[in-house]
């Protein structure tokens, strides 16, 4: 049997090189198209959130840091600073509305006001605003996190520390904190305590009102009222109350550090964190607007043991163990 050998002629190596180049070129084009499609899909699916802050101060920045920490991946976040200028804020808010983000996080009073005036069809979550109802932040697209410690929680702690409390006094400006005073009256009356609110018009009225009324108080309850409390008036109030052996109950750890017996306050980072959680629920469809603002879910307790010793007040051990700050 005869064997026949067949020889195949392969193309010249130049052709092979050219063909390989063509394959690489086409493959590169395909990969480029795929990459573009993936990138565009990511951009289209990303959720835009705008942070609008009233000014660049530590408290607002802490809230924003807490807010950012709760956000999921895929969020495109932009931040704008009003620099304390409401008119600038309104211009920014108009631009923000035109960009059509998924949600606006307004930090501070002026930022929330700018959003309220200019943004009516985009969800707005506000934070770091005292008494938002006073400023009408109840439009259908707005909700937020309150800064005020719920009165019931304050009274519960006060009762533990001062169980024989009968006469509670406070100074307030009726044009600023009347609603807060009315709520305190309503809650204290069933508990058998007399609430004595003393109205003043300005900081100048504080010394006379305080000196004449402290002897009849078992405790002085400070409320967030700018007519009553300034740096100078706070020092006077704390010193005078200690001279009269009257414990002071406040709403900031700084007050406790300066001599107040007990303070219940919020943590700014926690406020931002809670706002971020609320934002996620809104974007996920678990919370529908309009929605009432939420009270802070975490309260910080500060106690001054030196003041307690001076006033001959025993701090219950379980309350002391719950304190976030002890002085």
Find all residues with CB under 8 Å of 311, minimum gap 6, and list them: 242, 245, 247, 261
Residue 11 covered by a domain: no
Q: What digits encode the pLDDT tens for the residues 110-123?
A: 999 999 999 999 99
- 322 and 194 part of one domain: yes
- 158 and 87 part of one domain: no
Q: What digits encode the pLDDT tens for the residues 305-321?
A: 999 999 999 999 999 99
Total domains, the chain = 2
- 229 and 321 part of one domain: yes
Residue 87 covered by a domain: yes
Q: What digits encode the pLDDT tens for the residues 238-270?
A: 999 999 999 999 999 999 999 999 999 999 999
Find all residues with CB under 8 Å of 177, minimum gap 6, and list them: 131, 223, 224, 225
Residue 204 covered by a domain: yes
Q: What digits encode the pLDDT tens for the residues 32-67?
A: 443 333 333 333 346 999 999 999 999 999 999 999
The pLDDT value recorded for residue 244 is 95
Residue 309 covered by a domain: yes
Secondary structure of residue 317 in the 3-state scheme? helix
Q: What digits encode the pLDDT tens for the residues 145-203?
A: 999 999 899 999 999 999 999 999 999 999 989 988 999 988 888 888 889 999 999 99
pTM of the predicted protein model: 0.78
Q: Within 13 Å and on the Cβ side, how many CA atoms surround 321?
A: 3
Look at residue 204 and tell me whether its pLDDT is greater than 50: yes
Which domain does 78 fall in, by range? 46-146+269-283
- 173 and 250 part of one domain: yes
The pLDDT value recorded for residue 46 is 61
Residue 288 covered by a domain: no
Contact 256, 263 (CB under 8 A): yes
Residue 36 covered by a domain: no
Contact 142, 303 (CB under 8 A): no
Phi/psi at 105 (nearest 5 deg)? -105, 110
- 138 and 179 part of one domain: no
- The CATH number given to whatever domain includes residue 122 is 3.40.50.2300
């Amino acid at each position: 049997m005869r064997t026949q050998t067949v020889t195949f002629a392969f193309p010249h190596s130049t052709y092979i090189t050219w063909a390989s180049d063509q394959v690489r070129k086409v493959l590169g084009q395909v990969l480029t198209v795929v990459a573009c499609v993936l990138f565009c899909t990511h951009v289209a699916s990303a959720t835009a959130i705008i942070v609008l802050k009233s000014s660049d101060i530590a408290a607002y920045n802490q809230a924003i840091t807490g807010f950012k920490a709760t956000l999921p991946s895929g969020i495109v976040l932009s931040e704008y600073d009003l620099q304390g200028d409401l008119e600038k804020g309104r211009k920014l808010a108009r631009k923000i509305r035109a960009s059509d983000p998924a949600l606006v996080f307004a930090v501070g009073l002026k930022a929330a006001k700018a959003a309220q005036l200019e943004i009516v069809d985009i969800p707005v979550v506000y934070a770091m605003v005292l008494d938002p109802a006073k400023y009408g932040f109840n439009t259908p697209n707005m909700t937020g996190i309150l800064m005020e410690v719920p009165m019931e929680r304050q009274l519960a702690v006060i009762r533990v520390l001062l169980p024989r409390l009968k006469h509670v006094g406070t100074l307030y400006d009726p044009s600023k904190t009347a609603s807060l005073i009315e709520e305190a009256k309503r809650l204290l009356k069933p508990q058998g305590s007399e609430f004595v609110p003393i109205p003043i018009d300005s900081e100048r009225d504080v010394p006379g009102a305080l000196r004449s009324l402290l002897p009849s108080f078992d405790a002085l309850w400070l409320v967030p009222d700018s007519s009553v409390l300034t740096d100078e008036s706070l020092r006077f109030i704390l010193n005078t109350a200690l001279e009269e052996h009257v414990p002071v109950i406040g709403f900031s750890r700084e007050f406790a550090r300066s001599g107040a017996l007990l303070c219940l306050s919020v943590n700014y980072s926690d406020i931002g964190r809670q706002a971020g959680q609320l934002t996620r629920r809104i974007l996920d469809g678990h919370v529908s607007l309009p929605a009432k603002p939420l009270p802070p879910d975490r309260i910080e307790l500060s106690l001054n043991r030196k003041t307690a010793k001076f006033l001959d007040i025993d701090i219950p051990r379980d309350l002391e163990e719950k304190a976030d700050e002890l002085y």
